[in-house]
Amino acid sequence: MVTETPADLLARLIAIDSVNPDLVAGGAGESAVAGFCAAWLAARGFEVRLLDKRGGRPSVVAVARGTGGGRSLMLNGHLDTVGLTGYEGDPLEPCVRDGKMYGRGAFDMKSGLAAMMVAAVRATSGGRPRGDVILACVADEEHGSSGTEEVLESYTADAAVVTEPSHLEVTLAHKGFAWFDVEIEGRAAHGSRPDLGVDAIAKAGHFLVALEELGASLARGPAHPLLGTGTVHASVIHGGQEASTYPARCRVTLERRTVPGEDAATVEAELTAVLGRLAATVPGFRYRLVPGLHRDPFQADPEGEIVRTLTRHAEAVLGHPPVVRGEPFWTDAALLDRAGIPSLLFGVDGEGAHAASECVDLASLDRLTAVLAATVTEFCS
């Protein structure tokens, strides 16, 4: 069977609506694009399995079994995209201009899916390597990463490459995050009775000032060599009922971006210390700290075998040593690393992730595919 070019495959993937319904109510989800990828890979000799314990949110795992005795490598990319509303032009109609392909998901990250699918076929079509080649085309990365979590319940590998867009730069670290709600308690009363009421919104103002001071303190602290320092910001605030009533409560939702060495527990201790000082110094300050979703930061071993192998092939394809970098955003690489699978990120060049216009540089798509194919061939042999 003739294998499509990465650009041809990417165009077909862009045309399939796969908006994450956890982000956009009524979003199409991953069923159609997962079905397409499963059929495409099965037709090329891969053992294909759909994982869908959530129902209607499938991930695809496709395996080319090795001949035995070699190392296994997982290529991981996500099927879902952010929403289509507000996109300039038709987000599901791929178009090429000036060497770039445009469309929702072109950059983030159906380009990575196309590259890893074609690369895996190229690396196995001339004879299977000794180790297994595993493709994980996962659901829900843009929201809760339930797809990679489900894959890791049944599959492992000796290493993994996550094909998130990285501008053809070797990405060895990224930040994590922790979300918290701070619920500040007041006392409801008629607006004419300050002797009875406690203004929860005004009390929250003390916390917001302290949160800004915490952010400044973090910025002055020790910096990770690739990621810099952790950050914190207030994201959402809710409080009050009407103009004539003292608000009984005010809730501040915040996000703390973490670097290696920090996690949800250290952030909770940090916030507890801030809030404890306010409770001791601000009359009537009462609060409740509620942990939310958190994801760990990620850091690869720069001397790990998968890092050295991919970096060597990237240099050969690019004609120069690739840039080594960190990313401020979170990816599924952290889940793979936590499961004991040494990982790194390497993906296309382009722009417009989550933006009104999104594109991938097609030359970078070809280079990514070449690097991945060579990496699979060497690592799994």
| For range 220-231, the mean pLDDT | 97
DSSP 8-state class, residue 328: S
Helix ranges (DSSP H) in the chain: 6-14, 31-42, 110-125, 146-154, 200-220, 264-281, 305-318, 333-338, 362-380
22-41 pLDDT tens trace: 999 999 999 999 999 999 99
What is the CA angle 375-378-381, rounded to 5?
Answer: 135
Q: Coil, strand or helix: which one is 74? A: strand
Residue 369 has φ and ψ, to the nearest 5°, of -60, -40
The confidence band for 1, taking pLDDT boundaries of 50, 70 and 90, is low
CB-side neighbour CA atoms (13 Å) of 110: 33
* 35 burial via Cβ count (<10 Å: 0-12, 13-18, 19+): middle
Asked whether 81 and 19 are in contact (CB, 8 A), the reply is yes
Percent of the chain topping pLDDT 70: 99
CA nearest neighbour of 124 among 111, 134, 136: 134
CA nearest neighbour of 172 among 260, 291, 56, 106: 260
What is the per-residue pLDDT for 126?
A: 86
The confidence band for 2, taking pLDDT boundaries of 50, 70 and 90, is low
* 188 burial via Cβ count (<10 Å: 0-12, 13-18, 19+): middle
| For range 303-318, the mean pLDDT | 98
Percent of the chain topping pLDDT 90: 98
Catalogue all structural domains in the chain, each as residue range(s) with its CATH number.
6-173+298-380 (3.40.630.10), 176-295 (3.30.70.360)
Sheet containing strand 100-102, edge to edge, reads 95-97, 100-102, 359-361, 350-351
What mean pLDDT is reported for the chain? Answer: 97
Instruction: Say whether pLDDT at 154 is over 70.
Output: yes
Place of tokens 């850091």: 299
Instruction: Say whether pLDDT at 231 is over 60.
Output: yes
Tokens encoding 268:
């909770």
What is the per-residue pLDDT for 180?
A: 98
Residue 252 has φ and ψ, to the nearest 5°, of -110, 120
344-378 pLDDT tens trace: 999 999 999 999 999 999 999 999 999 999 999 99
| For range 136-143, the mean pLDDT | 96
Instruction: Say whether pLDDT at 3 is over 80.
Output: no
* 53 burial via Cβ count (<10 Å: 0-12, 13-18, 19+): exposed
250-298 pLDDT tens trace: 999 999 999 999 999 999 999 999 999 999 999 999 999 999 999 999 9
